Amino acid sequence: MLHAPPLGALLRRYAAGTALTCEPVDEGLLNRGYRLRTTRGRYFLKHHFDPDTADPAAIARQHRATERLADLGVPVAPPLPGRDGHTVAVVGGHAYALHPWIDGRHRHGAQLTPGQCGRLGALLGVVHAGLEHVMRAAHGERPPPARGGHVPRRPGADTPPARVPESDPEHGLERSPEHRATCPERHARGAVTASAERTAPAARTTPVETTAPAPSPDPADTFVLIDDLLARVHRHRPADSFDELARHRLVERRALLERHADRRPPHGGPVGWVHGDFHPFNLLYRGDAPAAIVDWDRLGVQPRAEEAVRAAAIFFVRPDGSLDLPKAREYARAYRRAAGATPCELTAAVHRVWWERLNDFWMLRWHYERGDTRADSQFPAASALAVWWTREYDAVCGAFAD
């Protein structure tokens, strides 16, 4: 078996019996997973292979967070402790963790009813509120309110509700198209003005907490990248349909960036602890209900509303590159209610994630720079989304704020 894990050495560290079968799980792009069956049950064995997420101390911190979230009733799959009480096993210089096997399936937004979309948004809001609670309890203080003011909380709630609401009441917000278009950029500029006064270095207690939101992409750098990728496309032989689409999208994106270069946002808004990679392949459903949120490798302090928008852009993108805005609206209403986020925070996040998408070519970089084609199937819809989002900018803002 390719990349076979050292099962004998690993299972000796756990009271998990003797291995009977071990099969790779193919969904992950960064780390490696295995469906493991032993004489004592079924498990998910994770090999933390990606160098950026393989630090044992960081993995242990993720494990503690999921254990505390499980105590709050959030659907997660905390790791099993070894005989020595540790949840991270390092064998041959590689880090592994053993989790209970969760029966379930992944569901894209097209497979969710409007009510289930609301539950999805509420679930992410509960995750954000729950992480704030458990990480504050672990570190003795709240994460730093860098680059955008306070971290929103539900008023008077020290412990967030673990139950995901079945539905979210309608919010009768009336907002003009002019307000929708300017709110994100105005809100983001105000966040930067306040950040110098509100960021206290003493409030940052762990390496993850010191990670400030990355600056928004500079279009000058993106133009250089576009030229480089176009040259790689031109050199690729024999040319195929993927090359043709890549060339079209690169030229198209350059024109869009030239037209909108003056709309580059500043740094991100209000920050808090986030999952970091919330999308359909990291959420398992059992029937109609979420069974487990998995893959917490990107746990960290980042703009929370941006994770909500970024996740929606993955869950609710259609094959033609448009977003299912009615479903996104149900999701966003429930998220705002559960996370205590304001409409303006969401529209500011829409603006920043839109700009991120305009400048993002990670799928093409994987294809042409690394020869890795695993994300190729996602490229048609993802590349079309940036174009559609630019054209329907006001409607997207409205869906996340109404």
Q: 40 to each of 4, 17, 88, 141, how far by Cα in Å?
A: 20, 5, 20, 41
- Rounded to two decimals, the pTM is 0.82
Letter string b/e over residues 4-27, b meaning 16 or more CB atoms within 10 A of that residue's CB? ebebeebbebbebeebeebeeeee
- Place 211 in a pLDDT band, splitting at 50, 70 and 90: low
User: How far apart are the C-alpha atoms of 316 and 322, rounded to whole Å?
Assistant: 8
Q: Report pLDDT digits (tens) over 84-121.
A: 999 999 999 999 999 999 999 999 999 999 999 999 99
Q: Report pLDDT digits (tens) over 317-375.
A: 999 999 999 999 999 999 999 999 999 999 999 999 999 999 999 999 999 999 999 99
Give the residue among 41, 38, 49, 39 at the shortest CA–CA distance from 3. 49
pLDDT at 1 over 80: no
pLDDT at 246 over 90: yes
Distance of CA 344 to the CA centre of its chain: 20
Q: Report pLDDT digits (tens) over 348-361.
A: 999 999 999 999 99
Strand partners, 336: none
Give the residue among 355, 359, 356, 361 at the shortest CA–CA distance from 229. 361
Cβ partners under 8 Å of residue 265, min gap 6: 184, 185, 188, 216, 348, 351, 352, 355
Radius of gyration over every alpha carbon of the chain, rounded to an integer in angstroms: 22
Domains of the chain: 7-100 (3.30.200.20), 109-197+259-401 (3.90.1200)
pLDDT at 270: 82
Q: 325 to each of 110, 266, 312, 332, 338, how far by Cα in Å?
A: 12, 26, 10, 10, 20
